[in-house]
Amino acid sequence: MKIALIGAETLLGREIEEVLQNRKPGVELIPYAATGEGNFAEASSAGEESEAVYVQPLTAEAVRDYTAILTAGTQAGTLRAYELAKDAGGRPLIVDCTGELESQPEARIIAPLLGDAGADASWLRVIAHPAASALALVLARLAKYRPIRQATAHIFEPASELGKRGISELHQQTASLLSFKPLNKEIFDSQLSFNLLPAYGEEAARKLATVELRIERDLATIIGNKKLRANTPMPSLRLLQAPVFHGYSLSIWIEFEGDINAQALGEALASAQIEVRSQSEEPPNSAGVAGQSGLIAGDIRIDRNNGRAAWFWVVGDNLRLMADAAADVISELKGTQR
């Protein structure tokens, strides 16, 4: 199997490459620049300095040689891959890790974290937003313990969701504040360092509300998937930009139909995808989950004002969640070709 990776030089692209190499799925991964065009990109090996390497452009002729194309680059690069695959009659399979292709008529939203790698999907599979998949998995597992009456979630967005530029701006803002220098606000158009943002500034190219709507759409799609049997009502959610480099944090409040206790809730959550920490252990945090697969839940508290409700704290590495999901799809493809 030959797999094309659009955006091999991005944070997400590098994470996908690392995960695929560690899993050794027996595929040949061909890197392409984030735009899909020929470009110079930084490449480095462990212990070596980065160097500029020319990354080839994706062409109509090259597309036909691939079993699948993974997109982890820009909107332009993702759309270019889509158009080339569409012109080739829907071959190769597109696995969109950016969400840019959700509105295309052939798109199917998939959630590998919940066991849906899209085996019966069309040639365009869009991996659900990692925060949506994480929230859906938590709700689905808890709904098996007690029926859920209602839920609310605050989702804290990391800077790495905006790629290297987002991380660089947060780093620069922090250094500038500590040295009393002007802040760079090109990405967020607002001060993020030592701050929380419910919205970006008016001049920001990306809108936080747009991301929130995508999470909500993807979550509704996952919950509505009869194959996954989530059996949970749609929660209310709010997305906030946090001054952290990597990792989603979710503060979730859930009211159940019957009586509950914290230990039983933790046991209901515990699975291969979710590590649960007891009250005697340190609560999970976004820094500690960096580079780890799956989710970590902890600090489970019964609501003092409602004995049938509880608070949950859940964290997950946003880049690793998406990379693992992409690898799951590739593994499923490899299985069907045997």
Q: Domains of the chain: which residue ranges?
A: 2-127+322-336, 132-318
User: What is the reported pLDDT for 60?
Assistant: 85
Q: 71 pairs with which residues across the strands?
A: 6, 96
What is the residue whose two structure tokens read 């590098």? 14
- For residues 91 and 312, give the distance between their C-alpha atoms in angstroms, rounded to a whole number: 43
User: What is the reported pLDDT for 335?
Assistant: 62
Order of all β-strands in the sheet with 28-32: 28-32, 2-6, 68-71, 93-96, 124-127, 107-110
- For residues 126 and 123, give the distance between their C-alpha atoms in angstroms, rounded to a whole number: 10
Q: What is the pLDDT along the chain (338 residues), one digit of tens a residue?
A: 899 999 999 999 999 999 998 886 678 899 998 886 665 555 443 334 445 555 677 888 888 889 999 999 999 999 999 999 999 887 899 999 999 999 999 999 999 999 988 888 789 999 999 999 999 999 999 999 999 999 999 999 999 999 999 999 999 999 999 999 999 999 999 999 999 999 999 999 999 999 999 999 999 999 998 877 778 999 999 999 999 999 999 999 999 999 999 999 999 999 999 999 998 899 999 999 999 999 999 999 999 999 999 999 999 999 999 999 999 999 888 665 54
- In this structure, which amino acid lies at residue 36? G
Length of the chain: 338
User: What is the reported pLDDT for 170?
Assistant: 97
CA atoms within 13 A on the CB side of 277: 18
Token readout for 147 is: 């029926």
CA atoms within 13 A on the CB side of 1: 23
Order of all β-strands in the sheet with 248-256: 236-241, 148-157, 248-256, 309-316, 295-302, 274-276
**CB-based contact 179:156 (threshold 8 Å):** no
The strand pair at 236-241 and 148-157 is best described as parallel
User: What is the reported pLDDT for 119?
Assistant: 81
- For residues 98 and 108, give the distance between their C-alpha atoms in angstroms, rounded to a whole number: 13
User: What is the reported pLDDT for 54?
Assistant: 55
What is the residue whose two structure tokens read 């970590």? 296
**CB-based contact 135:155 (threshold 8 Å):** yes
Please tell me what DSSP assigns to residue 39.
E
**CB-based contact 239:211 (threshold 8 Å):** yes
- Say how many C-beta atoms besides its own lie within 10 A of residue 92's C-beta: 22
Residues 6+ apart with CB under 8 A from 37: 57, 58, 77, 80
**CB-based contact 119:102 (threshold 8 Å):** no
Token readout for 184 is: 């760079």
The pTM score is: 0.91
Token readout for 236 is: 């209310």
CATH number for 2-127+322-336 (one of 3.40.50.300, 3.20.20.70, 3.40.50.720, 3.30.365.10): it is 3.40.50.720
**CB-based contact 155:314 (threshold 8 Å):** no
User: What is the reported pLDDT for 332?
Assistant: 86
Tell me which fold the domain 132-318 belongs to.
Answer: Dihydrodipicolinate Reductase; domain 2 (3.30.360)
CA atoms within 13 A on the CB side of 214: 19
- For residues 60 and 295, give the distance between their C-alpha atoms in angstroms, rounded to a whole number: 39
